[in-house]
Amino acid sequence: MASFLQLPHELQEIILEYALITPASPPVDPWTGKENRQPLHDVDYKAWSFGPNNTLYDTSQQDDLAGTSSALLRTSWQIHEETKGILDRMARPCYLLDVMIVHGLELWPTWLSVPVLRTHLDEVRVTFRIFGHCISREGMRSTLGDGGHNGPEWCFYALLERFLVHGPVTSRQPGKHQEKKVYVKTLTINFESAADEEHPLPPPELTWKDYFRYKMRVKDGPDLSHYAMRPEWLANSLRGQIASLLALSSYTTRYGVFLYEHIGSIRVLVEGEFVEEFDLAKQLAPMKYDCDIANFSRDPSREYFWRWKRRAQRVRQEAGLPVIWADDPEFAEYPED
C-alpha cells in the first residue's frame, strides 16, 4: 500500500483539505459536562449582565482550536508546505459553531470547525439546538432586562460581543478587552429543535402569539413551561432583537453600532430553511440622522452621527465587507476625525 507521501499531489491536497475543514461532532446533549462550562468575563460587555453570566463556555476545549492545521504544520516538510498552501488560500475561512440552548435560560457554545485562525471571515455558521422546556413564568420574571429584551436574547448578544473581540477562544483572557477585531461577511444562524418525550413540542394549535403572550407573562396565557420551545418562535424573537438593534433607536444605538462595523449580513434559518436576511450594507446606506436617536453613543448630536456613519463605511470597506455609498452631502460637512 502506498504511503501518503507517495500519493499523487492532487489527491494529497484533497485529503489534507478534508482533514482541515471536517467539523468535530457537537455535544450529544447538555445533561453532562456542565462542570467544564463557565461564563467568561474577559470583555467589557455592553450586554446586560444576564447575558455573559448565562453564556457558558467549554473551558476544557483547547485554545488551539485550529489544532488539525497546527499538527499538520509540524509534520514533514512536504506536508507542512502543502498544508500552508491550503491555509494561505483560506484567506477568509468559514467557522462552525454549535450552541445548545438549555431550558431557554443558558447558551452553551462549542466550536466545531476552525480551520485556521483569522480575523476576517467569509462566514460563521451557528446552529442553535433547543434542549429542555420553555422558561417557567417565575423564571421569566427574572430574565427581563434592559431595552425590553429578555435574558436569553442578551446571551446571544454577549456571545457575539465576545467572539468579535477574542475570536473562537474559550479560555479566560487576562484583563477586560473592548476592541473588536473580527469581521464576518455572513453570519448564518440556524435554529433546530431537540425536543424529546419528556419535553415535546407544543401542539399545533399553540402559535407564536401564544408564546409571545407567555413570554410577556399575560395572566390568561397558556402555560408552556412543560413544552420545548419551537425553533421558529426563538427565531422570531431573535429576528425582532436584530431588527431593533439595527434600527439604532434611542434604546439600542449603543448596542447596534458595532454590528454595522463588523458584519456584512445576517441570515436566519429554521431547520435549515431560509427565513430572513438582514443586509447591513443596504440598511446603513440610506440611514439619516434622526432626532429619535437620542442616545447615539451617548452623544445626541447630528455631527456625531454623520462622523460615525462615515467611519463605519470606511471600516467596512477596509475589512472587505459590502459597502453602498449613498448620496450623503453631510459627509462633506462633517469629515471623519
Alpha helices in 178-301 (DSSP H): 208-215, 231-247, 253-262, 280-284
Q: Kindly report the number of other CB atoms within 10 A of residue 229's CB atom.
A: 28
113 forms bridges with which residues in the sheet? Answer: 96
Q: Give Dmax (Cα) for the chain.
A: 73
pLDDT, tens digit (0-9, with 9 covering 90-100), for 241-299: 999 999 988 778 889 999 999 999 999 999 999 999 999 999 999 998 876 554 554 55
Q: Where do we find the cell 476576517?
A: 120
Sign (positive/negative) of CA torsion 70, 75, 77, 78?
negative
- Domain chopping of the chain, boundaries: 4-332
Instruction: Tell me which residue of 266, 245, 256 sits closest to 308, measured CA to CA.
Output: 256
Please state which of the ranges 104-108, 211-215, 267-271, 278-282 shows the lowest mean pLDDT. Answer: 211-215
pLDDT, tens digit (0-9, with 9 covering 90-100), for 297-334: 455 578 888 889 999 999 999 999 999 998 888 877 77
pLDDT, tens digit (0-9, with 9 covering 90-100), for 45-71: 999 899 999 999 998 876 556 667 777
Rounded to an integer, what distance in angstroms lies between the CA atom of residue 154 and that of residue 42? 16
**Amino acid letter at 55?**
T
Contact present, 34 and 137 (Cβ < 8 Å): no
